[in-house]
Amino acid sequence: LIILLIYSREVVVRMARTPIITKMQVIPVAGYDSMLMTLSGAHAPFFTRNIVILEDNLGHTGIGEIHGGDYTCDSLKSVIPLVVGQEIGRYKGILDSIHKCASKSDEDDGEGIQTLDISKLKFVVKSEWAIECALLDLLGQYLELPMCELLGNGKQRNKVETLGYLFYVSDKGKAGGNLEYLDESNSNDSWFRYRRKEILTHEDIVTEAEILHEKYGFQNFKLKGGVFEGQYEMDTIRALKKQFPNGRINIDPNGAWSLEEAIRISKPMEGILTYIEDPCGPESGYSSREIMSEFKNAVNLPVATNMIATDWRQFYHSAALKSVDIVLADPHFWGFEGSVRMAMLLNDWGLTWGSHSNNHFDITLTAFAHVAAAAPGSPTALDTHWIWQDGQNLLKDTPQIKDGYLEVPNKPGLGVEIDMNRVIEANKLYENLPSHDRDDAIAMQYLIPNWKYDSKKPALVR
The residues carrying an active-site annotation are 224, 356
Taking CB under 6 A as the rule, does residue 224 contact ligand GKR? yes
Taking CB under 5 A as the rule, does residue 392 contact Mg ion? no
Taking CB under 6 A as the rule, does residue 254 contact ligand GKR? yes
**Within 10 A of 107 (CB to CB), how many other CB atoms are there?**
10
Taking CB under 5 A as the rule, does residue 40 contact Mg ion? no
- Count of CA atoms in the C-beta half-sphere (13 A) of 31: 24
User: Dihedral, CA atoms, 166, 172, 174, 178, nearest 10 degrees?
Assistant: 140
Nearer to ligand GKR, 347 or 358 (CB): 358
Q: How far is the CB of 152 from Mg ion (least distance, A)?
A: 23
Number of residues that bind ligand GKR (CB under 6 A): 8
Q: How far is the CB of 386 from ligand GKR (least distance, A)?
A: 12
CA distances from 343 to 85, 303, 445, 449 (A): 33, 16, 40, 44
Of 306, 323, 380, 398, the residue at the interface with Mg ion (CB under 5 A) is 306
Fill in the amino acid letter for 365: L
CA separation for the pair 188, 205 (Å, rounded): 21
CA separation for the pair 295, 74 (Å, rounded): 40
Q: How far is the CB of 153 from ligand GKR (least distance, A)?
A: 27
CA separation for the pair 73, 206 (Å, rounded): 38
Taking CB under 6 A as the rule, does residue 252 contact ligand GKR? yes
CA separation for the pair 400, 417 (Å, rounded): 14
Nearer to ligand GKR, 35 or 76 (CB): 35
Per-residue contact string for residues 328-357; x = within reach of ligand GKR by CB under 6 A: ----------------------------x-
275-277 vs 303-305, strand pairing mode:
parallel
Per-residue contact string for residues 182-221; x = within reach of ligand GKR by CB under 6 A: ----------------------------------------
Taking CB under 5 A as the rule, does residue 250 contact Mg ion? no
Taking CB under 5 A as the rule, does residue 233 contact Mg ion? no
The DSSP call for residue 273 is B
Q: Report phi then psi at 40, rounded to 5.
A: -85, 0
Q: Report phi then psi at 306, rounded to 5.
A: -125, 10
Fill in the amino acid letter for 249: I
DSSP one-letter string for 355-367: ----S--HHHHHH
Nearer to ligand GKR, 138 or 443 (CB): 443
Nearer to Mg ion, 26 or 39 (CB): 39
Nearer to Mg ion, 128 or 277 (CB): 277
Per-residue contact string for residues 28-47; x = within reach of ligand GKR by CB under 6 A: ----------x---------
Of residues 352-391, those binding ligand GKR (CB under 6 A): 356, 358-359
Of 33, 161, 252, 337, the residue at the interface with Mg ion (CB under 5 A) is 252
Residue 224, contacted partner among ligand GKR, Mg ion, none, CB below 5-8 A by kind: ligand GKR
Contact 35, 181 (CB under 8 A): yes
CA distances from 323 to 60, 226, 248, 318 (A): 44, 20, 21, 5
Residue 114, contacted partner among Mg ion, ligand GKR, none, CB below 5-8 A by kind: none
CA separation for the pair 56, 412 (Å, rounded): 15
Nearer to ligand GKR, 127 or 305 (CB): 305
Judged by the rule CB under 6 A, the positions of this chain that interact with ligand GKR are 38, 224, 252, 254, 306, 356, 358-359
